[in-house]
Amino acid sequence: MDGKHPKLQPKTPVPSDIEVSQDIVNEVGLLPIEDVAREAGLLPEEVIPWGIAKAKIHLKTTLDRLSDQPDGNYIVCTGINPTPLGEGKSTTTIGLAQALGAILGKKSFACIRQPSQGPTFGIKGGAAGGGYAQVVPMEEFNLHLTGDIHAITAANNLLAAAIDTRMFHEDSQSDEALYKRLCLANGKPFNAIMKKRLAKLGIDTNKSPEDLTAEERSKFARVDFDKSTITWQRVLDTCDRHLRGVTVGCGSKETIQLRGTVKGETPREQHSRETGFDITVASEIMAVLALTKDLPDLREKLGSMVVGYSKSAEPITADDLGCGGALTVLMKDALLPTMMQTVERTPVMVHAGPFANIAIGNSSIVADRLALKLAGEDGYVVTEAGFGADIGMEKFFNIKCRESGLKPKCAVIVATVRALKMHGGGPPVSAGKPLAKEYTEENIPLVVEGCANLCKHIENAKKFGVQVVVAINQFKSDTAVEMEAIRKASMDAGAYDAVVSNHWAEGGKGAEALGRAVIAACEAGKSEDFRYLYDLELPIRSKIEIISKEIYGADGVDFSETAEQQMAKYETSGFGKLPICIAKTQYSFSCDAAAKGVPTGFRISVREIRSCVGAGFLYPICGDIMTIPGLPTRPGFYDVDIDTETGAVIGLF
């Protein structure tokens, strides 16, 4: 680096993540985001600065300009089944990108998810990476960023309000009264979203509102919800177990006089129903953001989201409620990826943030596409897939790559001595509790036994036709003998290479060997070798069974009566050819979080299957997985505060 922007020198011992981030700002200075963007290959008019540290990137104009540019080498970074402390996928993603860019001189990008406020203030802390392999400033990365998650919350809850409002008015008004208020009161012609519903109903879209027959007016005005089928819930980006089940519509103004009765002759009925909340990152709108390709696709996906069914078993969409356009308006800025920088000033694309255990677990297609074009044929894009490879990587390959058409060459699987000891029979690992001596002292038998978990993930990745490199994420208590045992097991399982990486303590330099291994793996890999695990034409049941048997190692799948009914409904509705996004625990191949290593003799239990038709997948919920986590006894927010003199955030890890 030049004298104006010298490189931050790692300290020993390594300070906390937030101290490293603040050292960048205070000791050597951030590279202005306009300079990061320019060095990445962006033009000034393609960059929307968001303060000194962040920028939104114009999508269409940039991709149009780079349309003839060959894509870079596409690498997914995933991991073994983790401990509750995490094993460093984000840190490895950043460290590898730093090694490729700042150390080996390649054009490189990291693409990572925006972190949820839930784990940031809950159990896990931030998700900016860590040590000398992180996105900076980490406090801006972890807190609000550019407001995308807030936009998703607003859009999701607007649609939830539209659902309850529509049911409220339909329950209390005649068809003709509904139609007059919807279509005749303002004297305007049908707008675009109304014409879309007319076309769906088979009504001539050239007609004016006054021209519809009484039957057509009734069909148009009344969506006629079967309230038992509504799947859309409200969201917030906080872990709050007490909102998993709620009753809405209990206010004094939410009583209705049922249509068809004479006012005053029957008591007014309370318009209440049982529903619940999900965490924002589990919203289908978050999945849409991750899987959309451009603004027209975003509009189509949001409008196509199915929120429930009518009493005649017809799917009801956001566009049926007149809401798709408004949702897109709320989401239009969120569609633009955010650019930041690493500790070593290499570029990072931050976009979308779905969890992997209850959603698709990957950052956005548009961020990856943009980075691949900017990287060019000789460049490298490292994109992170959340949690263990059995969920995040599987969904990356089968859902995200299928939707994008992009073909990766290499999968980096992150493993730690700590997690492999746990899978080998070590004591439970819990956040906030000291590690048992088995994890801080050399224990070769536990490591060797636990490597079965890593080997199963290597086997799974190779089923997709990609090269596999194992990143042994080094912790200070790990011994050379333990790490060599992991390397040997990895190579015996068919990995292209297995490399010790110490990027947390040393930054890009500590991941140099990993970077060289990834370059070699990409040279050995061929995009045309990439393949999917299952054919979309298969029945829903078969696709779930293939994932469960091939990836998890289950003996089979048990479907609840509810799930059986839902599968039949989705097949009848034409949704049977969608890919599958299984929601299950990240801590085990099975549905039992306590079953470590490579469990055998188990079955996957599917209690319900939700549809994410707009995003483009079906969503089986397995075991006791929850779509909004709870807070522990001592949440992470206990340690977060602010220096009122300087305004600096303290205690955020």
Give catalytic residue positions.
89, 91, 113, 124, 356, 387, 475, 504
Measured distance between the N- and C-terminal CA atoms of the chain, rounded to whole angstroms: 28
Amino acid letter, residue 285: I
- Rounded-to-integer distance, Cα 113 and Cα 22, Å: 22
Task: Report CA Rg, the chain.
Answer: 26
CB 53 within 8 A of CB 137: yes
Which two three-digit tokens encode residue 97? Answer: 């990108």
- Rounded-to-integer distance, Cα 623 and Cα 621, Å: 7
Contacts of 102 (CB under 8 A, 6+ apart): 342, 344, 345, 346, 507, 508
- Rounded-to-integer distance, Cα 422 and Cα 420, Å: 5
Contacts of 509 (CB under 8 A, 6+ apart): 99, 103
Q: Is the CA virtual torsion 597, 598, 601, 603 positive or negative?
A: positive
Which two three-digit tokens encode residue 210? Answer: 């006054």
Residue 50 sits at the vertex; the CA angle it makes with 44 and 53, to the nearest 5 degrees, is 90
From residue 517, alpha-carbon distances to 281, 370, 415, 452, 495 in Å are: 33, 24, 16, 22, 11
Q: Is the CA virtual torsion 81, 85, 89, 95 positive or negative?
A: negative
State whether residue 591 is helix, strand or coil.
coil
**What's the distance, CA 476 to chain centroid?**
30
- Rounded-to-integer distance, Cα 110 and Cα 407, Å: 17
Q: How many CB atoms lie within 10 A of CB 644?
A: 7
- Rounded-to-integer distance, Cα 489 and Cα 498, Å: 9
CB 356 within 8 A of CB 586: yes
Residue ranges of alpha helices (H) inside 173-323 are 175-179, 192-200, 214-221, 284-291, 295-304
Which two three-digit tokens encode residue 196? Answer: 């879309």
- Rounded-to-integer distance, Cα 363 and Cα 342, Å: 17
- Rounded-to-integer distance, Cα 581 and Cα 357, Å: 9
CB 70 within 8 A of CB 376: yes
